[in-house]
């Protein structure tokens, strides 16, 4: 968390007067994620709102990370289709004033509640996935429908894993042969993605991007945030993000019933075997990127995220082991993953 500069604070105060007819009584920096965006809770006086959140999207993403579209019109599109997203109260270039849905993400709530309450929240979260996949944009106005999980993006994920995860796990630069093992595994992912139906995906539907707003009625307490990266992906992608989350590790006995229940509700209703295989393949793509990201951030001076790396590597190893039975590329990848060591930093 960082305090806003004097210039940004002045801009936010002027924006609150102009858009909300209110004065900022207090300005609180909020914890952000791993990106470059900054968030501030504005405590307001003199207007209709008591508070809102300023989302400041300025600056450049980390090296090698593709830029994403602005929040609008994706947020407005989802709101118009009844999805639970924060309302927008105005904004300026690079700033959105959003509904304050609280500070409690599913990440923290899941660790505090009992099993039944956690299952109910994850049931609500999973039920958002078929709703998202039924969306269409015949007018071509929403950038998400022009973005997709494609060969170029998968190749970038593989390169990041080779550049960040392999050196950290091996304790040395990877050989050309080891990098080829990763490339071969991702070729298997690419083949499956090319053959799969593509549906609207949040792209980062993990616990950190689901706020739990206790002021809303039970069964409708989740609010989707971090929407700008939405794209088209195979039907299992958002479920992988949610149920193979690096921040909340669900036991298989809890995860699998969620996955199976939602599988039949998806617009494409994939057959069980196809669903399970793509789920594992997309786990490879998603978790390899996440694992690399934790190490990239550590190399930039923040090792705290490495505490999530062991669970992430565990997901990769389990998925590769299941895929290895039918594809030698994943047998070689599983062997490479088995050679990786997280080291003491990841256990802290």
Q: What is the pLDDT of residues 237-283, one digit of tens each?
A: 999 999 999 999 999 999 999 999 999 999 999 999 999 999 999 99
Q: Whole-angstrom Cα distance, residue 11 to residue 15?
A: 6
Q: How many residues in total does the chain contain?
A: 348
Give every strand in the sheet of 38-45, ordered side by side.
Answer: 23-30, 38-45, 51-56, 95-98, 88-92
Question: What HEC string does 94-107 produce?
Answer: CEEEECCCCCCEHH
| Across 156-169, average pLDDT | 97
Task: Say how far residue 62 (Cα) sits from the centre of its chain.
Answer: 16
Q: Whole-angstrom Cα distance, residue 78 to residue 73?
A: 9
Q: For the purposes of burial, counting CB atoms within 10 Å of the CB of 325, is it exposed (0-12), middle (13-18) or buried (19 or more)? A: exposed
Average predicted confidence (pLDDT) for the chain: 94
What are the structural domains, with CATH classification, of the chain?
Answer: 6-98 (3.30.200), 106-347 (3.90.1200.10)
Q: What is the pLDDT of residues 301-333, one digit of tens each?
A: 999 999 999 999 999 999 999 999 999 999 999
Q: What is the pLDDT of residues 256-268, one digit of tens each?
A: 999 999 999 999 9
Whether the upstream peptide bond of residue 73 has omega within 30° of 0, thus cis, is yes
- The torsion defined by the Cα of 305, 75, 86 and 96, in degrees rounded to 10, comes to 80
Of 12-16, 199-203, 228-232, 298-302, minimum mean pLDDT range:
298-302
Q: Whole-angstrom Cα distance, residue 132 to residue 200?
A: 6
Closest by CA position to 200, among listed 123, 254, 114, 136: 136
| Across 88-93, average pLDDT | 95
Closest by CA position to 32, among listed 8, 53, 13: 53
Q: pLDDT grade, residue 64 (50/70/90)? A: low
Q: Whole-angstrom Cα distance, residue 247 to residue 185?
A: 25
Task: Tell whether the model's pLDDT for residue 115 goes beyond 60.
Answer: yes
- Cite the DSSP H helix spans in 134-213: 151-160, 166-170, 176-195
Both tokens of 236, joined, read 């299992």
Please state, in angstroms and as integers, the Cα–Cα distance from residue 303 to each residue in 2, 247, 293, 300, following that order.
18, 15, 11, 8
Q: Whole-angstrom Cα distance, residue 159 to residue 167?
A: 12
C-alpha dihedral sign at 321, 327, 330, 335 = positive
Q: Give me the helix-helix angle, 252-263 and 272-299, nearest 10°.
A: 120
| Across 122-149, average pLDDT | 96
**109 sits in which H/E element:** helix 106-112
Q: Work out the percent of the chain whose per-residue pLDDT is above 70.
A: 97
Closest by CA position to 255, among listed 108, 117, 123: 123
Q: What is the pLDDT of residues 179-200, one digit of tens each?
A: 999 999 999 999 999 999 999 9
Q: Whole-angstrom Cα distance, residue 82 to residue 17?
A: 29
Closest by CA position to 312, among listed 183, 181, 161, 197: 161
Q: Whole-angstrom Cα distance, residue 24 to residue 264?
A: 48
């Amino acid at each position: 968390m960082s305090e806003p500069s004097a210039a940004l604070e002045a801009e936010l105060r002027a924006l609150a007067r102009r858009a909300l007819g209110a004065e900022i009584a207090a300005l609180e920096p909020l914890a952000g994620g791993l990106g470059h965006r900054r968030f501030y809770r504005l405590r307001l006086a003199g207007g209709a709102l008591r508070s809102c959140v300023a989302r400041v999207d300025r600056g450049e993403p980390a090296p090698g990370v593709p830029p994403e579209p602005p929040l609008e019109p994706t947020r407005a599109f989802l709101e118009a289709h009844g999805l639970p997203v924060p309302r927008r109260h105005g904004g300026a270039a690079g700033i959105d004033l959003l509904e304050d849905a609280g500070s409690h993400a599913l990440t923290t709530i899941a660790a505090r509640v009992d099993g039944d309450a956690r299952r109910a929240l994850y049931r609500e979260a999973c039920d958002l996935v078929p709703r998202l996949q039924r969306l269409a944009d015949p007018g071509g106005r929403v950038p998400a429908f022009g973005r997709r999980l494609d060969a170029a993006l998968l190749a970038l994920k593989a390169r990041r894993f080779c550049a960040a995860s392999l050196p950290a796990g091996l304790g040395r630069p990877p050989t050309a042969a080891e990098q080829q093992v990763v490339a071969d595994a991702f070729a298997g992912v690419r083949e499956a993605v090319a053959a799969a139906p593509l549906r609207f995906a949040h792209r980062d539907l993990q616990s950190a991007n689901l706020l739990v707003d206790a002021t809303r009625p039970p069964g409708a307490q989740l609010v989707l945030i971090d929407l700008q990266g939405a794209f088209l992906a195979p039907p299992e992608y958002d479920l992988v993000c949610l149920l193979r989350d690096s921040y909340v590790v669900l036991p298989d006995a809890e995860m699998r019933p969620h996955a199976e229940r939602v599988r039949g509700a998806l617009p494409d209703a994939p057959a069980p075997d196809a669903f399970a295989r793509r789920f594992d393949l997309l786990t490879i793509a998603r978790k390899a990127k996440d694992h690399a990201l934790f190490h990239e951030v550590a190399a930039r001076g923040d090792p705290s995220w490495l505490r999530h790396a062991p669970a992430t590597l565990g997901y990769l190893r389990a998925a590769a082991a299941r895929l290895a039975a039918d594809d030698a590329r994943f047998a070689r990848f599983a062997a490479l993953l088995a050679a990786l060591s997280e080291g003491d930093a990841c256990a802290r």
